A and B are shown apart, each in its own frame.
Chain A
């Protein structure tokens, strides 16, 4: 079993989706520093993805400093400091882009979008009575 789940969506690259899923798992704390990260073979077999893609994913995460290779242990989540605000923000960028595109289609302005977000934010974070 993989320590994170990925719901594949059509029309996006498999590579991008797996990297995103893994980053999300690490940034959200589902995967913690020193946790084992699945091997290329595990990723490939469990997600039924091309091993070359799985390999690219692991390399990219190592390059980004999210994973590190410990000799004799394998690939683990890096002991990096808590994910930066920038890293966490980046995970939101796809969703934000989609909202902006939809808003433009509907010919809404930036203030419409921000006020809609503020409203939703307040509704969700409001303490339940």
Chain B
């Protein structure tokens, strides 16, 4: 696996506030990587450190093999960065803004740019300040796509976009994929927005990385289990955590429900039988990414980092 981004014990403090703590993050090249986590988990700070907008308090990070603190024009000509709170030259028209960007990037693809302008229905003669939020985000994305960056970093790109604008934004983002050499990093607090897109996820919680792995693996190891207990009824509720790999455990009359975070059919069944010898029937069902993250968010700090 070729990593396009790698961090090593990356930490960042705002004064006494620890925004990001000991982050060991790897983003494989050619992936669509989602950095997920609730608001305030440290996603924006992480991305800012990767883009050398803030300097880490300790630890280090590499983007395309270069230490982030030494990223310069050569690298930034191959990186696209769009953030939720991006400042755009509001007084410029869309056309003037694109011309201005074009001059900065030797790899600017004019044909690709006009195709996207049309796809996004961006009015070239309107001033940026007259545009809606969705339009502005699309203009920002367009200005970062048109030079066909190798790495596209999007910080909460969908927040405040209506579903239609979001769809257009995603299509535009995926238009980049013509090229063989690309990687996209998206931060989001809403997993639903990226569920079908991403093939690798990192989950941040209170500044720490709780997991970082391929989506396929995550979907494989998480299962919702439902066990029918023969005797039932007389159970502690909520029960003590029967196993460290189990999340979100509940017992209701004869049914035991939980989320297994290290699912392996035989092993899981054996564990259940061991802890609940009266288990009559064990059923497992796969979970969506969204369900997995809800379960994780409900049960902070368990041993889900273990592989």
Neighbour of A48 across the interface among B196, B216, B285, B286, CB < 8 A: B196
Within 8 Å of chain B (Cβ to Cβ): is A61?
no
Convert A31-71 into 0s and 1s, putting 1 for each residue whose CB lies closer than 8 angstroms to a CB of B. 00000000011001101111111000000000000000000
Chain A, interface residues (CB within 8 Å), range: 10 to 19
**Is B88 close to A, CB under 8 A?**
no
A41 near B174 with CB under 8 A, answer: yes
Give which listed residue, B170, B175, B219, B285, contacts A13 with CB less than 8 A: B219
Q: Kindly identify which residue among A8, A52, A105 contacts B31, using a CB–CB cutoff of 8 Å.
A: A52
Least CB distance, A94 to chain B, in whole angstroms: 12
Assembly CA distance A13 to B174 (angstroms): 19
Contact for B170 among A10, A48, A101, CB less than 8 A: A48
Which chain B residue lies CB-closest to A8?
A: B196
**Looking at chain A's contact residues, is the secondary structure mostly helix, strand, loop, or mixed?**
helix
Q: Which of A40, A50, A105 contacts B198 (CB 8 A)?
A: A50
Residues of A within 8 A of B199 (CB): 50, 52-53
Residues of B within 8 A of A11 (CB): 285-288, 291
**CB of A14 closer than 8 Å to a CB of B:** yes
CB pair B196–A50 under 8 Å, yes or no, is: yes
A46 to chain B, nearest CB (A): 8
- Contacting pair A47 B30 (CB below 8 A): no
CB distance from A59 to the nearest CB of B (A): 15
Main secondary structure of the interface of B (DSSP, over half): mixed
State whether A10 touches B177 (Cβ < 8 A). Answer: no
Q: B99 within 8 Å of A by Cβ? A: no
- Tell me how far the C-beta of B33 lies from the nearest C-beta in chain A, rounded to whole angstroms: 11
Q: Tell me the bound Cα distance from A53 to B290 in angstroms.
A: 19
Instruction: Tell me whether A93 is interfacial, beta carbon within 8 Å.
Output: no
Q: Which residue of B lies closest to A14 (CB)?
A: B196
| A7 contacts B by Cβ under 8 Å | no
- Judged by a CB distance under 8 angstroms, whether B167 is at the interface is yes
Q: Is B197 an interface residue (CB 8 A)?
A: yes
User: What 0/1 readout, one digit per residue, does chain B (48-87) give for beta carbons within 8 Å of chain A?
Assistant: 0000000000000000000000000000000000000000
Assembly CA distance A79 to B287 (angstroms): 38
Question: Chain B residues near A44 (CB, 8 Å)?
Answer: 174, 177
B174 touches A48 (CB 8 A): yes
Residue of B nearest to A17 (CB): B196
Q: Is A12 an interface residue (CB 8 A)?
A: yes
Does A10 contact B175, Cβ atoms closer than 8 Å?
A: no
Name 7 interchain pairs, CB-CB below 8 A, sorted by A: A10-B288, A11-B285, A13-B216, A14-B196, A41-B177, A51-B32, A101-B283
Interchain residue pairs A-B with the least CB separation, the first 9: A10-B288, A51-B177, A11-B286, A45-B174, A11-B288, A45-B171, A49-B196, A50-B199, A44-B174
- In addition to A10-B288, A12-B286, A50-B198, 13 A-B residue pairs with Cβ atoms within 8 Å of each other are A10-B195, A10-B291, A11-B287, A11-B291, A45-B174, A47-B196, A48-B167, A49-B197, A51-B174, A51-B177, A52-B199, A101-B283, A105-B283
